Structures are given as structure tokens and as C-alpha cells.
Structure 1
Amino acid sequence: MTDSNQRSNPLPSSPASERAVLCGYYGMGNAGDEALLVSLLQMLPEHITPVVLSKDPHQTYDRYGVEAYDRWKLGEILKAYEGARYFIWGGGSLMQDTSSAISPLYYAGLMKLAQLMGLQTIAWAQGLGPLHKSYNRWMTRHVLKRCQAVSVRDLGSAGLLSRWQIPHTLAPDPVWAMTPRQSPTFDRLTQGLPRPWVAVNVRQHATLTEPWLELLIQALQQFQQKARVSFVFLPFQQSLDWALAQRLQTQFPDSPIVLLEDPQQVKGIFQKVDLTIAMRLHAVIMAAAEDCRCYALSYDPKVSQVMQALHLPGQELGQLSSDPEVLVQKIVQEWLDLLGAKTWAAQSYRENLIQQAIVHREILCQVMR
């Protein structure tokens, strides 16, 4: 390894420890996937030394103090595998071909390589699909059948594995159990901001069309007029969320944009805001886990499944099927009702889900004895 890469690789692990390669959508600047990495690091048995494949290994090392290698360089990947005993798909929707046809090839290829090299493999906290291509379904089934353990985070993934006759464990997303932290940056940016505070999280996606975005802006304007709320725009990934947050801020110039690198601090924000309006799955999960009222804007089946499981109010994005003005009034009223409610649906579920999410730790401990 060249000198420029040395910072991403701390001192070798002690002889008593065992190495595990962690593979996910890491180092991409996505708060949700970084939250999955933090959750996995928190749940690993103490005798395991994590080795992370990352787009930005220096940042991953600086942030978490773990050995990290470049996920795009074969030589670096092979160095990560060297001396490792385990390989873990570390959470998220890695095996899906909706956003990318290449993604399943990459992740299945890494797992298959690990299996050929004799590593024990674990598919951890996965959200499988959609898998439209037959070869992607075949690859996914092929590598999962050879795993020592498989855990999934939703009923759709569990149903797929049942049809494939692959043993698995179903448990809520591990981010439910991730420990939150307070954010000095959030406190500084919201100082003097009138309450109530409403966090707004949106991302670029084909379902968030220009008509939908205009409708959302109208709804936010009417909501602010009626409830006197202050908005806090909360992008989770700079590449997909930041431009939208800036566009919304032009309509609400007194509303701060808060972009944080630490996923635990992101989760801590939901302890302070009064309502969350969110597209991203992990924004919905973090808000519900911290007992913050949440309204979901679903762009993907995984968000819809969480909405259904928690009986959350929300709106499916995509084609506008009703009168826009009527829909704006409906959405605004739902926000007003949610903000004013003494209790809300997810309160009765959150403690159980937080406890059930610990099952993902038990899966790791069973394999890594």
C-alpha cells in the first residue's frame, strides 16, 4: 500500500482478534448508510476487528477509527480480504436493480469472491429487491444460499427468501437501536428559530417530479401560514439532497439547512424537532425511534412498508391522480392533525422495534463465536 493510504489503516489487530470485512454503501456521504455502518460497528462482538470497504477510506478511518480500503480498487479489496475470517454485507438495499443494474453485480461479486476465498459470509440487515432482472435474482439467491447467516429488515425480503427456501431472520432495521448524539451545529443553526420546528427531508428521485415538488412547496407554504412553524431542511446526502434543500430554502429563506456527517448526531436532531416530513427511509426510522411525529413521502416500497408497519400517515409519490389543490389541502390537514395530536401511531411500536432490532447483534454473535 502506498504512503498516501497509510492513514486509512491503523496498527494491526491483536492475535486474539478476528478480522471481518464490512461491505456496504459506505463513504458515499449518505447519512442513512453511514448510520447502518455505525450500527454494525456497535453490534460487532468485541473480539472482531472490522475492515471496511469504502469509497473514501481516509474519511471512514478518520470518522470511526477503523481500518478501511478503497472499494473500487481490486488490489485494495484483496488486501482487505487478507487474513479475514468473515465477510458481511452490512445493511441496506444492496441487492436491487431499480436505481442501478450494476450494483447487484458488484455486491454479489464481492460476496462470491469472499466465499471462494473461504471466508464465512453474512448477509446482515438486508432489504432485498426489487430485482427485475432474472440474472440478478439468480445471483442473489446463489450467494445467499452459501451464507452462514442471513438477516433481513422487512416482510418483503423475508417473503422472497421464504420462496427461495433460504433460512433467515427477520428483525427491524438496526438503525432503530443506534445511539443518538447531540449536535452543536444544529443548536447553532436553530438558535432563535421560533417553534414549532419541522424537519423536512427530500431527495432527488424520479417520483419527485416537478409537479410534485411544486405541490409540496404549496403545501409547506400553507402549513407555515396556518401553524406558524419553522422549517429545518435536513439533507442526508449532498449529491442527491443538497440542491433540493437549497431550492426549498429560496421559498423559506429563514429556514436553515443542516447537513451533518455524523449519523448519530443526525438521529439526535429528531429528539428536538416537533414534526418530520421525510422521503428517506432512515429519516423516517430515526424520527420514529426518537418519538418524533413523522409524515412519510414514499418514493420506494421500503418506505411504504415502514409506513404500513407503523401505521404512519404519509403520501405515495409518483403520478398525480387527483386534483392538485385538493391534494394540497388534504396533505396540509394531515400535517396539522399530526402536529396537534397528543399521541401518534408509532409511539406504541417504537420501544418494541428498538428491542427487536438488537436481534441483528445476536445473529453476529452466533456466527462469530
Structure 2
Amino acid sequence: MKIVISGFYGLGNTGDEAILESIIDNLREGLDHPELTVFSLSPEQTANTFQVKSVYRGWRHQFKEKVRALKDADLLISGGGGLLQDAYPTKFLFGPLPYYLLIVLLAKLCGTKVMFFSQGIGPVTSRWGKILMKLSNLADFITVRDQYSKDYLENLGIKKPETVVTSDIVFAFKKKEDNRCIQSLPLKGNEKLVAVSVRPWFEHVKQFEQMATILDTLIEERGVTPVFVPMEGHHDKKASEQVMAHMKSADRTLMLGTDFTPNQYLNFIGECDMTIGMRLHALIFSTLMGIPHIGFSYDKKVESLLKRSGMWDYSADLHEIDVPQLTANALKLLDERAHYSEVVTTNAQAMRSEALRNIELLKEKFQV
């Protein structure tokens, strides 16, 4: 079977690269020698990393190659991840929303079937965005990673394709042993590690000071070593430095490099006692590894994940951070880690089964 994969790939985002790795690994395990082509901003790197064919994703280059790939394909996989949203600027033909939907339209014009795969939907608030979303009715089949996304599609009038709730395909990530992250740190071996994931979020910066206060207390009262995990390169590195600038005990923190692979970050998080974070896939990695976690939810997708992992009661909306309460929650998770690790592990097993359904449903719906 020939499959084209379209998503936010080749841009150095750890979460999206983890999505791609999980899709590729599970397609290869579930199908008989699939021929895979990925639309990527860094096609040569993507091709070398995953041993696939790759075509430049943008419109300005390799348009004929994209058309040829879609014409030759049996299926376009659009996803996973949160592709269909207009939180970032959306113009007539530019922005994430028009790009991904026009790829879908192009696939249908080429006679290729389309599956929205393990996607998170929204927000879509602009009038033009809501009009563009009607193109989603061209899809032959849709899986979404949470009930919120399914409801969102229905509210936007996307009712023609069958839509099934599964979970983020990263819950089916195939971990490979790799300790390069932890080996890169100057550790003695007896530290109580707390993974910290922060990201920029438009003009909102108050969370950096709030995170700093919580981390200072954890250092003082439990002797933890916070380790910042910059999952989107210099963007997260800069955000991490902003947190550290507010801390009294910044000298007792560490930061990983920005060039580790998703699998390496996953292995590192698995060595930690707890995660406090914003990045969705840092929290997903924590869930996968059975690590208790507290989320600063900047988007419904984060809240949805935290509810499914069992950690929402200990987390908060980014705009409603209660520092004393979250600090107390963090101390509780550390002190009763074994119990909460079991809660997270149990929920992760259920979400892994749901993630693998994405592949089974693909095989069923497209008669592979």
C-alpha cells in the first residue's frame, strides 16, 4: 500500500516528530511493506531519519512532486496532531488551516482517499476558518484523539465522514533504550529529578514566574533537581531561561540540550519522579512512562489529555494558576509517587489500546 503522510513534520518540534515516528513504526508493523512518503519542511533529513521518501511540504517548491506522490498513493494520512486550527494567523491561502485542507483537496482531485488520523481539532474561530473547515467533509474517514475534537467537528458542520474517537498515536510510540539525555547531565546518581516543560504562548508570560515559585519550593522542601526539557528547540530554551530568571535557586536546576530525539527525551522523562509542564507531548511522554505530572493547560487538547491520564485534578488552566494549590499538589504527587504512578500507568494502557485502533481502523476502512 502506498501512503502519503501530511503533518507538521521537519520543523524540529519534538511532539510532531514523535507523532511521525509512531505513525511510521506502527504502519510498518501493521501493514505488509507499506511505501511511505512524507511531506516535510526538511525532506532530506526526514528521509534519512525514517527511511522513507520525502517531498518538500510547502507550495513554493516541488509542487509537481507532491501531485505525483498523491496520484500514485492509495491513501493520504492527514495527521496526527493539532493541524486544523486557526490559533495562529490564517490568511486566504496561508496558515496551517488552509495548507492542510488544500492538501486534502489536492489529494481528492488526484483520486486519492483521505483519512484524518488521530487529529486534535480546533480552535477554529474565524469566519474564513469555519468556511475552510467544510473541506473536511471530503475526508473518507476520520479518527480524533479525544471526544472534544469529535464534538468540535460536529459543531462546525463536519458530519459526512464517519468520525471515531481514539487517542493520540504517540501512545503507541515504540520506545527504544537510549540514555543519552541523562548521560549528558552532571548528575551524581541520587538526585530526585523533576522534568520541566515550558513553552512560549503568545503574550502570556505570567506562568514563567508561577512555575519558578513552585520549583523553588520543591527544591527547598524536597531537595529536587528540576531539569528543563526544551522540546521545541530555541523557543522552549528561551522560555526555560525566563523561568530560571525568576528563581531563587536557579543554580540548582539543569537544562537538556535542544537536539535530542523524541525517543531520547521519552527515555529521560522516564527517569524522573515527576513532570511539571505545558507541552502536550511532554505530558504524553510522562503518561507513557507512568510518571505523575502536573499540567499548565493552555489549550483544550492539554486539558483533555490530563483528564484521561488522571492528572487533571492536580493541574490547572494556564489562566487560573493557583500557585499555593499547585505547589501542594506537586508535594503530594512526590510524597505518594508510587500510588499516582500506578494511576497514570493504568490510564496509559487504555490510551495505548485506543492509539493502536488508529491502525486497525485504517486497515478495516481501506481494505488493507
TM-score under structure 1 length normalisation: 0.87
1:31 to 14, 17, 21: 14
1:235·1:241 contact (CA, 8 Å) conserved in 2? yes
**What is the aligned counterpart of 2:329 among 317, 328, 334?**
334
Aligned to 1:93, the other structure's residue is in SS state: strand
Q: 1:235 aligns with which of 205, 230, 235?
A: 230
Deviating more after overlay: 36-45 vs 70-79: 70-79
Report the CA distance between 1:180 and its aligned residue: 1.6
Shift of 1:182: 3.0
- Which structure 2 residue ranges, 5 or more long, are not aligned? none
C-alpha displacement of 1:58? 1.4
Residue of structure 2 equivalent to 1:318: 319
Matching of residues 1-369 of structure 1 within 5 Å? 18-44=1-27, 45-72=31-58, 73=61, 74-101=63-90, 102-142=95-135, 144-163=136-155, 164=157, 165-166=159-160, 167-190=162-185, 191-192=187-188, 194-206=190-202, 208-209=204-205, 211-249=206-244, 251=247, 252-258=250-256, 259-312=258-311, 313-318=314-319, 327-341=322-336, 342-344=338-340, 345-366=343-364, 367=366, 369=368
Matched letter for residue 36 of structure 1? I
Aligned residues of 1:123 and 1:151 also touching (Cα < 8 A): yes
Q: Deviations over 1:123-156 (max 9, x none)?
A: 10011111112332232233x3222211000111
1:123 and 1:26 mapped to 2: Cα distance? 16
Inter-CA distance 238–152: structure 2 relative to 1 (3 Å threshold): same
Does the 8 Å contact 1:194/1:230 carry over to 2?
A: no
Q: Deviations over 1:168-225 (max 9, x none)?
A: 111111111101223332131233254210000000003742x331122122111110
For residues 75-116 of structure 1, give each alpha carbon's deviation from its aligned partner in whole angstroms, at most 9, with x where no partner exists.
442343352222110201111001232211111011101101
Amino acid at match of 1:195: E
Uncovered stretches (5+) of structure 1, i.e. residues with no partner = 1-17, 321-326
Aligned partner of 2:316: which letter?
Answer: Q
Q: Secondary structure of 1:125's match?
A: strand
Q: 1:221 to 1:242 in 2, by over 3 A?
A: same
CA distance in 1, matches of 2:113, 2:260: 31
Letter matched to residue 106 of structure 1:
Y
**Inter-CA distance 48–279: structure 2 relative to 1 (3 Å threshold):** same
The whole-number CA distance in structure 1 between the counterparts of 2:52 and 2:122 is 30
Question: Hey, what's the Cα distance between the residues in 2 that align with 1:299 and 1:85?
Answer: 37
Secondary structure at the residue paired with 2:220?
helix
Distance in 2 between residues matched to 1:50 and 1:239, nearest whole Å: 30
1:40-93 C-alpha deviation (Å, 9 max, x unpaired): 102222332110010111111121111111111224423433522221102011
Q: TM-score, normalised by structure 2?
A: 0.88
Task: Determine what percentage of the aligned residue pairs are the same residue.
Answer: 25
CA gap of 1:273–1:319, structure 2 versus 1, over 3 A, is: closer
Moved more, 285-294 or 260-269: 260-269
Tell me how far apart the structure 1 counterparts of residues 268 and 179 of structure 2 sit (CA, whole Å).
10
The 8 Å contact of residues 182 and 269 in structure 1, kept in 2 or not, is answered as no
Kept after mapping to 1: 8 A contact 2:181/2:260: no
